[in-house]
Chain A
Amino acid sequence: MSAATGGYYIPHEAKWPIVGSIALFILFMGLGSWLNGSDVGKMVFFAGVALLVFMMFGWFGVVIKESETGTYNPQVDQSFRLCMMWFIFSEVMFFGAFFGALFYARTFSGPWLGGEGGGGADVTNAVLWQGFDYVWPSNGPEAVGGKFKPMGWFGLPLINTLLLLSSGFTCTMAHHAIKDGLRKKMVWWLAATCLLGFTFVGFQALEYYEAYVHYNLQLGSGIYGSTFFMLTGFHGFHVTMGAVILLVVMFRGMKGHFTAENHFAFEAAAWYWHFVDVVWLGLFVFVYLF
């Protein structure tokens, strides 16, 4: 344990990173061969996932222990904050790629396929797909995946929006509670947040079921299906992760962790939760509404 600039904590002999590398190596090799049709690959993939989860328990366990024993000074805390902020920024850019694909397809390549925009687009349309009129939602000139019904904004998506917005509110209430040092109150508000989060995921699953079975709207339904499921799918995955993180924070609160001054794990989880909330608003507007 180094006493550094004002006692900056520098850990020694980190054992978990190499476990994480091995886990990801197994996971990726397994997934690769699974995608190539090997059943063994599937087993290898899940072994990798299990090892990764084991690593997370181990690594986070060490960090939590250090945090609870007062190893970290405010400067270390600030490092964690910067790290989390920039991690969320990287996530924003990841979603940006998929939003970019959606905008590009809707604004540029779609109309060009329909013959608009000059520069030879009319010729391409006349030669390859004569008579194709581009209208969003589209599954392209060859109607890939067959006729489908697009997902409207009313109903489940609207309910889900309200659920997520309320969860943002309950999350903030939990934050106020811990800032006042009321740990028990925080746990209850967090429980409400997790409940709303998991309900959201449940409704999302229901919506996917509806889409696949009743709307013939699938991942393979052309560019509309691709952008719809990839955007909402990655978002749903992030909501699930966020809810699991909040759940862990809740359990930690029940074990007596966090004080009014020291609760960065909670704040990081809350930032993350607000981030998935904002992404959802973007999705609701650009994927469902317009």
Chain B
Amino acid sequence: MSYSDNTHGDTHHGDHDDHGPAPGLMRWVTTTNHKDIGTLYLWFSLLMFFIGGAMALIIRAELGAPGIQFVDPMFFNSMTTMHAIVMIFGVVMPAFVGLANWMIPMMIGAPDMALPRLNNWSFWIMPFAFTIMLSTLFMDSGGPAGGWTLYPPLVLQMGDSFAYVIFAIHFMGISSVMGSINIVATIFNMRPPGMTLMHMPMFVWTWLITAFLLVATIPVFAGAVTMLLTDRFFDTSFFSAAGGGDPVMFQHIFWFFGHPEVYILILPAFGIVSSIIPTFARKPLFGYDSMVYATASIAFLSFIVWAHHMFTTGMPLAAELFFMFSTMMISVPTGVKVFNWVSTMWRGSMSFETPMLFAIGFVIMFTIGGLSGLMLAITPADIQYHDTYFVVAHFHYVLVPGAIYSLMAATYYWIPKWTGNMYDETLGKWHFWISTIFVNVLFFPMHFVGLAGMPRRIPDYSLQFADWNFVATIGAFGFGFSQLLFVYIIVKCVKGGEKATGEVWEGARGLEWTVDSPAPYHTFETAPVINESTLTR
């Protein structure tokens, strides 16, 4: 990255005897610097974004017309499975961790993450874990094809790749737990005097709560896949009714992890949007306290709603009612957030640079996904919608123009701080508008075919779904290829461009804007003085 060249000449190290980055490739392997590790995470997730995206395009190419065109059904199913695993564990999570690495120490005024060596390990597990995961696609039996949720008994019928898939999940889990423990320790222990909990930037708050969710649920997931492993290889009967177990039990344990996991994928996005909107509305965030409490409430509720993923698998009526109402309750704190963002913009002196466009796009389209989620929460309705493309439309609206848009917004917002250069604003706006048109062309028709009854995870469909599927496929290729523009803008910005000031954005508040652009290799080696003007609230 370009900032490395600048840091050598940087005098910020002052009288310390430390040095800048080590020369050569080993710098990236042995680095303990939160900015280096953040950069590694971000590049890794960008690479995985294109791998997962290529899988999505294979799926959409196959679904472009009824009948089987390009791939056989087994491979199709392994594409849907792998697409989910790559996008969740390889793109959105590492990208958020990368942003946490880059930004949290700078936002709270800490010299680095609390445990820098552990931080290095958290990243360097990821390439190895994904080597194992992706290698299963090249094994004789093919990759996992039973869906990313790994439901038994189907998943137990997987070929030789089964054990590797389980171990890859364990491997990633080690990385996630270590990474999130590090983030919790950093936030609790590395704040200078004056940076009280209720003065932290929202991105830090949302990550604190996300890290808690990760530490609480990833081990449960590890337990669930361990039970799958022993059911397959060591004769246990956890998920076999013949031995007194229950396949539905896996779904309960899995979704006890899985539902908090979906908030892991969106809470940091809330934090990013809560950072960007105040900057471009030139107003402090409306309702900071309620934002914090809403985030905490969402995290709490996420632990008691899991069975809404399983309304059709069979459970007592009382349980269905409980999970329906608890799920609907989530819309209250989420609504608080959306109203707060809108109120922040109300009567602000707004300007619409690319990060703001993506943030506003997030608010609107995430809300669309939230509303279809509310429809799915209604048990009797869900029995109709379950496993249709309506569900696919719902979670893609919250994850693509939701989580992914927040990542793009964050990239445009902070890349001047990372590289010292402004990105190309015109191209950024093009990227936003092309993406936004195509993402809706891609996912909106899925609502229609879903409500009409098109099932998910099947490579073929009835003729009446053909038109909208063709439209969605056009949207998919348009959205997919327009992301090459994103890469071009990033590379162009890394290589050069108009120099960014330290503040970057007019009136932007927060400690990260008080240091130079690009940010020096080491920031806040001595605790900054925290006062009104450096706080985000």
Contact = CB atoms under 8 A, between A and B. Distances in A.
Interface of A: 1-6, 8, 10-18, 20-22, 24-25, 28-29, 31-32, 35-36, 59, 75, 78-80, 82-83, 86-87, 89-91, 93-98, 100-101, 104-105, 108-110, 112-113, 117-120, 128, 134, 138-142, 144-145, 218-220, 222-227, 229-230
B171 A223 contact: no
Contacts of B127: 21
A100 B227 CA distance: 12
A25 B128 contact: yes
A100 B17 CA distance: 52
Nearest to A23: B128
Contact of A90 (B118, B215, B525): B215
Contacts of B32: 10-14
Interface string B93-119: 000000000000000001110111110
Contacts of A145: 235, 243
Contacts of A100: 220, 252-253, 256
Contacts of B121: 14, 17, 20-21
Contacts of B233: 35
A18 B327 CA distance: 42
B463 interface: no
Given A10-B112, A89-B215, A90-B215, A28 B18 contact: no
B237 interface: yes
A8 to B, nearest CB: 6
B243 A142 contact: yes
Contacts of B163: 31-32, 35-36
Contacts of A91: 219
A83 B181 contact: yes
A144 B240 contact: yes
A2 B114 contact: no
Contact of B237 (A1, A83, A93, A223): A223
29 contacts: A1-B17, A2-B111, A5-B190, A5-B526, A11-B116, A11-B117, A13-B30, A24-B171, A25-B128, A28-B170, A32-B164, A79-B115, A82-B114, A83-B118, A86-B185, A93-B215, A93-B217, A94-B219, A96-B220, A98-B223, A101-B223, A104-B252, A105-B249, A220-B235, A220-B237, A222-B243, A222-B244, A225-B236, A225-B237
Contacts of B237: 139-140, 144, 220, 222-223, 225-226
A36 B160 contact: yes
B336 interface: no
B481 interface: no
A226 B226 CA distance: 12
B189 interface: yes
How would you classify the secondary structure of chain B's contact residues: helix, strand, loop or mixed?
A: helix
A95 B226 CA distance: 12
A140 B185 contact: no
Given A139-B244, A223-B243, 16 more contacts: A6-B527, A13-B31, A14-B117, A21-B128, A24-B174, A79-B115, A83-B114, A96-B219, A98-B223, A100-B256, A109-B246, A113-B241, A128-B241, A144-B242, A220-B234, A220-B237
Contact of A226 (B110, B170, B245): B245
B16 interface: yes
Interface in B210-262: 215-220, 222-224, 226-227, 230, 233-238, 240-246, 248-249, 252-253, 256
A147 B116 CA distance: 54
B128 A226 contact: no
A2 B113 CA distance: 13
A5 B114 contact: no
A29 B132 contact: yes
Contacts of A113: 241, 244, 246
Which of B114, B217, B240 has its CB near the most chain A CB atoms (within 10 A)? B114
Contacts of A59: 117
B120 interface: yes
B181 A90 contact: yes
A136 to B, nearest CB: 9
A264 to B, nearest CB: 13
A97 B26 CA distance: 39
B248 A109 contact: yes
Contacts, number: 251
Nearest to A26: B128
Contacts of B26: 13
B224 A97 contact: yes
B128 A94 contact: no
B131 to A, nearest CB: 7
Interface in B318-341: none
Nearest to A121: B314
B18 to A, nearest CB: 5
B242 A24 contact: no
Contact of A101 (B22, B216, B253, B315): B253
A18 B244 contact: no
Interface string B495-537: 0000000000000000000000000001011110000000000
B300 interface: no
A119 to B, nearest CB: 6
Nearest to B220: A97
B125 interface: yes
Contacts of B112: 2, 4, 8, 10
Interface pairs A-B: 7 shortest CB-CB: A97-B223, A140-B244, A220-B235, A109-B246, A17-B121, A4-B111, A223-B244
A87 B118 CA distance: 13
A67 B246 CA distance: 49
A58 B234 CA distance: 34
Nearest to A2: B18
Contacts of A3: 16, 525
Nearest to B316: A119
Contacts of B236: 219-220, 225-226, 229-230
Contacts of A94: 219-220, 222-223
Nearest to A99: B223
B249 A5 contact: no
B167 interface: yes
Contact of A105 (B114, B118, B246): B246
Interface in B379-410: none
Contacts of A110: 244
Contact of B215 (A75, A86, A119): A86
B364 interface: no
